[in-house]
Structure 1
Amino acid sequence: MPTADSLVVLPQWISAGNTHPNSRYAELIWSLGPLIDNPGTAIVAINWTNCPEELRGQLRPAAWTMINGQLRATYLRSRGVRARARHSPATLQENCREWMRLARWLHKRGITDLAACTDAEWRGYAAQRWDDGCGRESAEVVLGRLTALWAFDQLTAQRAGITRPPWDTEGVDDFLPAVDGSAGGAENSGEPLDPQVIGPLLVWAIRMIEDFADDILAAWAENRRMAALAAATPATPDGRAALEKHVLPLVRSGAPLPAAEHKGTHQLARTFLAAVTGASLGQVDRLNDRHGLTGLAAERPGPCPMTVPVTGKIHGRPWREYLDFNEAADLMRHLGTAAMIICLYLTGMRPQEVQGLRSGCCPDPEPAADGTPGRHLIRSHHFKDVTDDDGNHVSAGEEREVPWVAITPVVRAIRVLERIVPDGELLLSSAHHDFTFQRGHRGTLKKHALLLRIEDFVAWANREARANELPEQVIPKDPHGGIGMARFRRTLAWHIARRPGGLVALAIQYGHMRTVLDARTSSGYGTRSRGGIHSVLDVETALAAADTAAHLRDRMAAGEKISGPAARRAVTAAAQAPRFKGRIVPKTFAKKATAYLARDGIVLFDNPDALLICAFKRDNALCDPAPDATAPNQYACKAGCGNAVRTDTHARLLRERADTISRKAAHTPEKLARRLRGNADKLRAIADAHDATAQPAEALT
């Protein structure tokens, strides 16, 4: 049994270089920092004040054993392949929270001894827990946490005597809430960002990096120079004279005074004034006291322009008349956020992988033997499901065997971040991205801080869009909630599956790599297993294919006819395809999506550019798919393919497109006009061929 002075985390579990303070057993807050080596993970703790005092002494030994011990191999063998002898700090915290929730429930019922938690109490607690609102998948996790309490109690030197939960012997199915179509909060966390949101958001992020970064970095350097100068300048008669010459005419004329905003109010910009006049900060303060400058600055606040050239432009116009001393820190904050957004969206990395990137992770490649430039690769750590030889979670993660491929916007974003942090430092280092307060925090910016920065960046971008009269570049509120970091990954897959050819920059990048992604030629693009980005891509592709089948089914039910060499297969596929409502995707759907796409010949893909449906069958395809491809190269669709299918709607849209081209030809020079009219004639001929050969669905079954 541990004593009051025992360490919460024993030394053998603390990695070399971990400097987080360790707690003592008797303390009410147990920090799990000594177990956390991932720089992107917040330091979590177990707070025993949330546990009734009568039961606290019985739960603590099990919690301490869970932190420092390991579950028996005989126990793990019956728990499935995902069972672990030791848990991650986040799981340790969540387990203890659930145990304390049980303790509070027992305490309200007058039970102050865990040994009195019998079969009836287990069943009653589970039923009440589901009444509070809990999805079926989340409920299974809760039951696992409660089972862990019994398992670790078995390993303590002095057992509390809690009984084995009934679901551990009878099976969990009968103890889970009913399947009613509802989903827990975690299942919604992967909602793709709306296209109307990600489009302008990416535009502003790339604009910050490619157009404004040099200006912002120069402004920050000048801001730091001026702040250091003001702090170091001694009081001199010349400085006082220069200060009075600069400020007093403004006071007498009623002109605005250099001001800085703080907590919603304006104050005199004392540091700026000291730097531009050569006065000391004390001289600025004394002049302020004599003339009430702070009050005047609040009444008529003025700018603090720095002598930094403005080179960035928006639509050919300078994006600023000048760069202000007071906005330099905020602009640096937004610059770092823009770089993070680009890395998240244009790579498909998980958030923790971006948080773990370090300066130097993406070196310039050596040119190939034939002189062609090499591809930029990102060497990074991944953290999800990383375990040691015993199957235990490794907080520090490990370097990926397969690097990420970086396109140009990502490389530029990394280069900007490398100009912010020292060599070898985390690209999102908390210490170096705290531009306002310079508090020297350790590790990388954490999830909550990054989410706030994304919100602030959106608000800033919208102000800029309105100020520059760019209403089409305003970032609207996403209908599915906040712009969470994890949503970028699924949005990437959504655009690959739904926007072949590219409405957003990444779709263009992945358009010509679709065969690489489908072939899985490197055991997974940017991932150590076939999970990773491929599973997310399969999910979105399967959802898109199911939507296509559902729309075809609706059109046929409305009486539309269909044509094409694959018409019969398309009718079969539409009849067999499931209909998905919404975009909620449980964890189990990834395997189902992969199996759904593997049904060669009866999976339907909409191609709005070619105005047809592709009933993809590899042997028939003219788009040069890979041998094991499960989707067509829709950007390479060719006429005469044996997978093509068209409906009456497609024929109507073909004629509308032809009419649009003809109208354009009427206002085009003759040589180009002939080509346009020829294209319009081809589209009408395709529509006429459909009318001549189309059949109702009943005739094809």
Structure 2
Amino acid sequence: MTAAQGSDDDPYTLPMPTPETPVVLAKWISPGNTHPNSTYQEPVWSLAPLVDNPASALPRIYWKNCSPSLRGQLKLPAWTMINGWLRPTYLHTRGVQAKARTSAGDLYATCAEWMKLARWLAQQNITDLAGCTDTLWRAYAHERLATVSRATGALTCARLTDLWAFDRLSASPAGIARPPWDTEGVDDFLPAIGGARAENATEPLDPQVLGPLLIWAMRFVDDFAGDILAASAERRRLLGLARTNQGTPASAAALEEFLLPLVRDGGPLPATAGTGRPLLARSYVGAVTGASRWQVLQFAEQHGLGDLVARRPGPCPMRVPVRGSLDGRPWRTAMDFHDVPQLMRHLSTAAAIVCLYLTGMRPQEVLNLRSGCCPDPEPDDTTGRHLIRSRHFKNVTDTDGHHLSAGEIRAVPWVAITPVVNAIRVLEQMVPGGELLFSAAHHSGRPGGSLQTGGLNLRINDFTAWVNHEAAAQGLTGQHIPDDPHGPIKVSRFRRTLAWHIARRPGGLIALAVQYGHMRTVLDARTSSRYGARSRGGIHTVLDVETALAAADTAARLRDQLAAGERLSGPAAGRSLTAAAQTSRFEGRIVPRTFVHKARAYLARDGIVLYDNPDALLICAFQHDTALCNPVPGATAPRQYDCRPGCGNTVRTDTHARLLREKADELDQLAQRLPLPIARRLRTNADRLRDTAHAHEATAQNTGNL
């Protein structure tokens, strides 16, 4: 895409637009994009013609938000930015992340930033962009950047610099001065490092939140989906009958036979929620009796059902078998006609939670999955793995450095573990073949594209509320989803949470034990498979950071235990002392971009990186060549779910010995209440744990002796 766009003298300068000039020139609109375009003179500019990602919002620029005195001058560089591109000589000085053309979302955010500047300049009585001098730039930066993080501040400065750059490329430059940070460097204009807003804003979900959330999501997919999908099909059938029924004497008789006993006996009547009070479920009644809509209405008026239903609202059960169970009993006495839309909504949300958390995909990648993206393995595939073919979007550009809104097919597919495959199969039953799995038309009735992240966040909130109501109604007080201490559950938090749990919960309930071990194994094979990765490492970046933080926490805790007088045992006790002494404590959760390189260097110190294993009640001073858990080539972490006795990397403390004895006592108490064969196995395990504790006490040494 290198065709000239302006004059022969300077192909980077666009001609002057007229009032009727399209906001987005035709050459930037892909053939399949049918979004309406705007014209230069309109007060609202739609950027939808630039958006080919069905999961993306369709941004609009509202020029009413710009100061009237500067609106005309800002429109021209904005239009130039939308339709032009930056010179290569300019980009070469901007770093690897600089793009000649960026996304519609970035264009919208940049214009919004320019409008903030324009409003501020108007308050200073500046009515010409040429009046924005070096002094005013400095004053504005001091005020604008005072309350933002360094990352946000740097991005803000880059967007303001773009105003100067695109003004110079426009057909009639306003002459705004070059921002001083573009020549002096941005560092001195940003907030100090370590300020209150410097922390990484994406916190992993709390384990107490994610545990029940994931359990309920998988429960929907594995246990409830069949009932919900069958109920949805039956509801569609009944609605079709209700619309087409023709009134006959036989249907009138069936209507009386169905409703009169309920009216006379004082029983609950089929109801639906009205705006103010319950109403008679006329469609349901017509469908199950064969009566026409007019017959149902006439019967209701004749017998005063309006008032009766308000006093005695009842369910609308359908003849659909309930096969799913909850806590050992059917999860529903019957599938209700009016509950189905809500349950279908929760089912798609549950499938989204499973896909988001158990793949490591970014939200936009999940929302762009299509039916058929995860076929069953071929008969001759010896691995037996399900692979997900998907599109990715982050930093995707063409050969000229222009942002590609439609993304591109990921060169290396994602590996899907069983719960993800199940979730995709459920979604494939909810949409037509080849359609987006999260198609907005099929999941929300909104035409075009897929569900968006904001809407999915609301759905997760609604799903959580439903779960907590259901848990209370079913007496499952221990299965409610608590509030997360770091704020609402958002789709942007699942990716980091996956890495957090792989690093810190290798064999627990949240980790799904072997399933997560499989995930760690696949992720560690990065040198050969580049799983979930592009040129910059994909999810490995997140996983390395979380693993390094977890290992550093383990070393810090060990250092504190040793200072308190605890002893060590195990073949790697000496190495663990070295690791504890050489590891700095990471205070807080500040995770700047540069930390990724530090994390990888930290994990590469073979033999002196400590991994806590709370299930095996030991610490692993991981040394690749001596590990009995059979790590893959190049792995920098053990297979903690496959920890084996006799490994030369193990270390135990006095605390571990105490916990081993407590665990043995728990097994003995449990054995007293179980049949003899099971009790015998539990007592054998308890004896083994005590023997391990005895071995520690016999060989443990303090730090001085070590």
Matched, 1:268 2:280: yes
Give the aligned CA root-mean-square deviation in angstroms.
2.3
Tell me, in whole angstroms, the C-alpha distance in 1 between the residues paired with 2:454 and 2:625. Answer: 49
Deviations 1:588-618 (A, max 9, x none): 3322211211111221111222222122222
Tell me, in whole angstroms, the C-alpha distance in 1 between the residues paired with 2:478 and 2:687. Answer: 34
Deviations 1:378-403 (A, max 9, x none): 11111111111112211101111111
* Aligned partner letter, 1:196: Q
Distance 1:291 1:662, change over 3 A: closer
> Does the CA-based 8 Å contact 2:360-2:498 persist in structure 1?
yes
Aligned to 1:518: 524
Quick check: 81-90 or 360-369, which moved more?
Answer: 360-369
Tell me, in whole angstroms, the C-alpha distance in 2 between the residues paired with 1:570 and 1:280. Answer: 79
Alignment of 1:587-606 (within 5 A): 587-606=593-612
The correspondence for 1:35, drawn from 46, 50, 60, is: 50
* Aligned partner letter, 2:59: V
Matched, 1:394 2:404: yes
Matched, 1:618 2:624: yes
Quick check: 142-151 or 225-234, which moved more?
Answer: 225-234
Tell me, in whole angstroms, the C-alpha distance in 1 between the residues paired with 2:650 and 2:117. Answer: 59
Distance 1:216 1:672, change over 3 A: closer
> Does the CA-based 8 Å contact 1:387-1:393 persist in structure 2?
yes
> Does the CA-based 8 Å contact 1:661-1:676 persist in structure 2?
yes
Distance 1:262 1:534, change over 3 A: farther
Distance 1:124 1:311, change over 3 A: same
* Aligned partner letter, 2:367: Q
Distance 1:37 1:183, change over 3 A: same
Matched, 1:166 2:180: yes
The correspondence for 2:614, drawn from 608, 611, 624, is: 608
Aligned to 2:10: none
Matched, 1:459 2:465: yes
Matched, 1:493 2:499: yes
Aligned to 1:407: 417
Distance 1:280 1:159, change over 3 A: same
Tell me, in whole angstroms, the C-alpha distance in 1 between the residues paired with 2:122 and 2:492. Answer: 38
Aligned to 1:96: 111
* Aligned partner letter, 1:135: S
Paired residue secondary structure (2:279)? strand
> Does the CA-based 8 Å contact 2:501-2:511 persist in structure 1?
no
| Aligned-pair identity (%) | 65
Tell me, in whole angstroms, the C-alpha distance in 2 between the residues paired with 1:558 and 1:427. Answer: 55
Paired residue secondary structure (1:431)? helix
> Does the CA-based 8 Å contact 2:575-2:608 persist in structure 1?
yes
Task: Compute the displacement of 1:318 (Å).
Answer: 1.6
Aligned to 2:490: 484
> Does the CA-based 8 Å contact 2:254-2:289 persist in structure 1?
yes
The correspondence for 1:382, drawn from 392, 410, 425, is: 392
> Does the CA-based 8 Å contact 1:138-1:184 persist in structure 2?
no
Distance 1:602 1:240, change over 3 A: same
Matched, 1:16 2:43: no
Paired residue secondary structure (2:607)? coil
> Scaled by the length of structure 2, what TM-score is found?
0.93
Deviations 1:462-498 (A, max 9, x none): 2222222222221111111111112111221122111
Aligned to 2:309: 297
Quick check: 247-256 or 157-166, which moved more?
Answer: 247-256
Gaps of 5+ in 1: none
Tell me, in whole angstroms, the C-alpha distance in 1 between the residues paired with 2:537 and 2:307. Answer: 61
The correspondence for 2:480, drawn from 453, 467, 474, is: 474
The correspondence for 2:337, drawn from 325, 343, 366, is: 325
Aligned to 1:416: 426
Paired residue secondary structure (1:326)? coil
Deviations 1:180-234 (A, max 9, x none): 342368x322x21111222211221122122221211111111111212212223
Paired residue secondary structure (1:265)? coil
Aligned to 2:3: none
* Aligned partner letter, 2:39: R
> Does the CA-based 8 Å contact 1:524-1:530 persist in structure 2?
no
The correspondence for 2:224, drawn from 205, 209, 212, is: 212
Paired residue secondary structure (2:491)? coil
Matched, 1:75 2:85: no
Matched, 1:641 2:647: yes
> Does the CA-based 8 Å contact 1:188-1:584 persist in structure 2?
no
Paired residue secondary structure (2:652)? strand
Alignment of 1:528-543 (within 5 A): 528-543=534-549
Distance 1:8 1:668, change over 3 A: closer
Matched, 1:426 2:432: no
Tell me, in whole angstroms, the C-alpha distance in 1 between the residues paired with 2:692 and 2:227. Answer: 53
Task: Compute the displacement of 1:290 (Å).
Answer: 4.8
Task: Compute the displacement of 1:501 (Å).
Answer: 2.4
Deviations 1:94-146 (A, max 9, x none): 10111111111111121111111111111111111123x20111111111111
Tell me, in whole angstroms, the C-alpha distance in 1 between the residues paired with 2:529 and 2:678. Answer: 47
Tell me, in whole angstroms, the C-alpha distance in 2 between the residues paired with 1:225 and 1:659. Answer: 58
Task: Compute the displacement of 1:17 (Å).
Answer: 0.6
> Does the CA-based 8 Å contact 2:505-2:511 persist in structure 1?
no
Matched, 1:627 2:637: no
Gaps of 5+ in 2: 1-15
Paired residue secondary structure (1:272)? helix
* Aligned partner letter, 1:230: A
> Scaled by the length of structure 1, what TM-score is found?
0.94
Paired residue secondary structure (1:122)? helix
Aligned to 1:553: 559
Matched, 1:180 2:194: yes
Paired residue secondary structure (2:272)? strand
> Does the CA-based 8 Å contact 1:367-1:373 persist in structure 2?
no
Tell me, in whole angstroms, the C-alpha distance in 1 between the residues paired with 2:664 and 2:220. Answer: 40
> Does the CA-based 8 Å contact 1:382-1:400 persist in structure 2?
yes
Quick check: 301-310 or 37-46, which moved more?
Answer: 301-310
